[in-house]
Amino acid sequence: WVPRPRQRIRALDPDVVNKIAAGEIIVAPVHALKELIENAVDAGSTSLEILVKDGGLKLLQITDNGGGIEKEDLEILCVRHTTSKISTFEDLSSIATYGFRGEALASISHIAHLTVTTKTKEAALAWRAHYLDGKLAPAKPGQSAEPKAVAGRQGTQITVEDLFFNVPTRRRAFRSYADEFNKIIDMTGRYAVHCKGVGFTCKKAGEASNSLSVQAQATVIDRIRNIYGGMVANELIELTVSDDRWGFSANGYVTNANYGIKKSNFLLFINHRCVESSTMKKAIEQTYTGFLPKGGHPFIYLSLEIDPARVDVNVHPTKREVHFLNEEEVIQAICKKIESELAAVDESRTFLTQS
Ligand code: ADP
Ligand code: MG
């Protein structure tokens, strides 16, 4: 170890800072996709079409039929911390929309070629803009960076090309397009189960049929049947549980004791955001051990609504980790409910076989 000669402290170039931040928010294509799905749902869309090439590294495109973006907003769309969703720190605690920090599009524009085509209901034409490093950019060198009027339907199409093109170490870390595509399909499936009233398709570029397709009017059970199969959908118990003391309510579907797979499938949404909780997963799996044969695991879809004042969503830019007050009590209440539902099904089954 050789000591460095002393140097003056300097501020990092803002572009370097932005690239570091982008790499923290978007580790793989699926993280960009999650943000884009949330944006489209925030915009009131009832149809989301997703197109993927090379596991999302070459192309990730999402077309929605939501409210669109006004032409005047295109200039600052990809500037970090620009958002139409909050304006004060206090707003953070009452936020009902998915995104809230105005970082997703900015980040994407720093590590990919981003194109936005959008039309509001009022606008006569759609507008198309290209972005690089947070700013409007020309489509080709020498052309104007100004948004161009094009023909188009109401809604927004976001095209992300060549993700990580300027982060070669990250780009090289991806070994398999198939793995990245599987993560994309998994995430799309989760939102397709959760977002009632919204239709989803997801397709690999060049393939004739969709890898996933859910109609806007499909019920939650239909959505689960479509994505996870009849084996799961035929064995579901509906779950509702709430407790004012802990400021939460939960609903969802869980499989009964007739169903068991090698690895459990846990779809968890907290305030309509797909998150992970290993604590909750472990507790629920523990609950099932008394009902399933050894090695059998459940399918769980849970939508939790927690008083936003009790949720700390500000822990990390990725927002994947969510903490809330009385976590233990909430988990216990959910597990108790699952246990009593499983026991009830067990009892009625015994009763049926006896009579
Ligand atoms: P955030 O979602 O946290 O506000 P984003 O960077 O994800 O930050 O998006 C910035 C803004 O762009 C949003 O606040 C929204 O106004 C607009 N926007 C992004 N995607 C869409 C979309 N699909 N439809 C309409 N508006 C969008
Ligand atoms: Mg967003």
Q: Rounded to the nearest 5°, which phi and psi values hold at 231?
A: -55, -40
Nearest CA owner, ligand 1 atom 5 = 102
Highest mean pLDDT among 104-108, 191-195, 306-310, 311-315: 191-195
Q: Which residues of 133-145 are buried (b: 16+ CB within 10 A; e: fewer)?
A: bbebbeeeeeeee
What pLDDT was estimated at residue 150?
97
Residue nearest to atom 18 of ligand 1 (CA): 39
Q: Which listed ligand is nearest to 158 at the C-alpha? A: 1
pLDDT tens readout for residues 268-305: 998 888 988 888 999 999 999 999 999 999 999 999 99
- The alpha carbon of 83 and the centre of ligand 1 are apart by a number of angstroms equal to 6
Question: What one-letter code names the amino acid at 286?
Answer: Q
Length of the chain: 355
Give the model's pLDDT for residue 56: 98
- Tell me, what's the pLDDT at 162? 97
**pLDDT tens digits for range 80-130:** 777 787 666 655 555 444 444 678 899 999 999 999 999 999 999 999 999
pTM for the predicted model, two decimal places: 0.92
DSSP annotation of 297 reads: B
Going from the Cα of 252 to the center of ligand 1, the distance in angstroms, rounded, reads 28
Nearest alpha carbon, ligand 1 atom 19: 39
Q: Residues enclosing ligand 1, CB less than 6 A?
A: 35, 39-40, 43, 64, 66-69, 77, 83-85, 99-106, 156
d(CA 154, CA 263): 42
Is the predicted pLDDT of residue 66 greater than 70, yes or no?
A: yes
CB 243 within 8 A of CB 220: no
Distance 40 CA to ligand 2 centre (A): 9
322 vs 27, more confident: 27
Task: Say how many Å lie between the CA of residue 99 and the centre of ligand 2.
Answer: 4
* Cβ neighbour number for residue 335 with a 10 Å cutoff: 18
Task: Enumerate long-range contacts of 317-325, CB under 8 Å, 24 or more apart.
Answer: 317/21, 317/24, 317/25, 317/101, 317/103, 318/24, 318/25, 318/27, 318/31, 319/273, 319/275, 320/275, 320/276, 321/275, 321/276, 322/270, 322/273, 322/275, 322/277, 324/248, 324/270, 325/246, 325/247
21-41 pLDDT, tens digit each: 787 778 899 999 999 999 999
Of the candidates 43, 62, 164, 52, the residue with the CA atom closest to the CA atom of residue 108: 164
Largest separation between any pair of C-alpha atoms in the chain: 87
Report the nearest atom of ligand 1 relative to the CA of 78. 6
At residue 108, the 3 state secondary structure works out as helix
For residue 4, the 8-state DSSP code is: P
- Residue 303 φ/ψ, nearest 5 degrees: -115, 115
User: 239 or 318: which carries more pLDDT confidence?
Assistant: 239
Pairing mode of beta strands 273-274, 135-137: unpaired
Q: How far apart are CA 185 and CA 190, in angstroms?
A: 9
Local structure of residue 72 (DSSP, 8 states): G
pLDDT at residue 167 greater than cutoff 70: yes
Ligand 1 atom at minimum distance from 84 CA:
14
Residue range 323-342, pLDDT digits in tens: 788 999 999 999 999 999 99
pLDDT tens for residues 178-235? Answer: 999 999 999 999 999 999 999 999 999 999 999 999 999 999 999 999 999 999 999 9
Residue 44 has pLDDT above 50, yes or no: yes
Tell me the percentage of the chain whose pLDDT exceeds 90.
Answer: 71
Question: Quick one: which atom of ligand 1 is closest to the CA of 64?
Answer: 23
Ligand 1 atom nearest to 105, measured from its CA:
6
